[in-house]
Amino acid sequence: MNDMKSYLGWKIDYTVPAGEPAYNAPDSMAWKVFKNPVVGAIGGVCAVLLEFADSRIRTGVWDHSVFPTDPIGRARRTGVASAVGTYGPQSAARRVIMGITNMHSKVSGTTPDGRPYKALDPELLDWVSATASYGWFMAYNKFVKKMTPDEERRYFNEGRGEVAKLYGVQTTLSSLDDFYAMMEKLEADFEPHPINTDFLELVRSGKSASDVPAWMRRAMAHASIEILPQKVRDVLGLGPEYDLKMHERLLIKFLAWRYETFADFDGPPAQACERLGLPRNFLWKSEAAQKRILASVRAQSAEALARG
């Protein structure tokens, strides 16, 4: 459970200010996909592995953050940053992202093999953004439900919005093919490293999420590896011992179904719905019900504006 009360000057509360929009609408693919914590956990670990394949990102994170010594705290802060960009009021998202960017502006150095890096290097910012889009997309498609072509188009288009610009991303994805094209330009420098397996052991051991049972952590880690591009998995040396077992697959699919079906009334997605005048379980209702509710809320807002 994330018990953080504030982050970078923002008092964490997705219910206020009442009516302030997020950078993504309630009927967006982002709100639909990111509400499922199974997707977030699997997609997030996959994204980190893709990032750590590049020695510049791997060294920057390991040498300039508390990840090796406080993985739980780091994971929670990363979760808040992701959630506020999706569900938070725009003013809070801008504040948090500016704080993160300011911290990253101080991160630079040289990798053990002599490659200089800066956290705000556009190439690295683009890759980090692309790995997140890829990870969440693959996790949702593999373990929740395959997106329709229209949903896939909407998903990637939303990733090209204001939040990416606030982070300094210059090249965004319009399709999965764009991800593979970006990866192709970088993959010659991908390499195995003990930090990659150290990170996976943090995930599997529970040091990054002590409130999650060990068997569930292992299943999540193996699911994250399953959705890696095969080229990256081969380079990182993640062999059959990391395969997702059949019982783990069934567990992951059950958990994904459970979180897709039954509302979490206390999480950021539900709180954000309340902020916008929607029922807290809005995102767990059918698409037809969501359309009716949104139409009603928007009509009421229009009437209120007309009355002055």
Name the residue among 74, 72, 96 with its Cα closest to residue 84.
96
243-271: pLDDT as tens digits: 999 999 999 999 999 999 999 999 999 99
For the beta carbon of residue 61, count every other beta carbon within 10 angstroms. Answer: 19
H or E segment to which residue 7 belongs: strand 6-7
The one-letter code for the residue type at 17 is P
Name residues of the chain where pLDDT drops below 50.
1
Neighbours of 232 (CB within 10 A): 18
Check: CB of residue 220 under 8 Å from CB of residue 244.
no
Residue ranges of the domains in the chain? 6-280
- DSSP label of 174: S
- Phi, psi (rounded to 5 degrees) for 55: -65, -25
| DSSP, residue by residue, 148-164 | PHHHHHHHHHHTTSHHH
Percent of the chain at pLDDT > 90 equals: 81
Q: pLDDT value at position 308?
A: 67
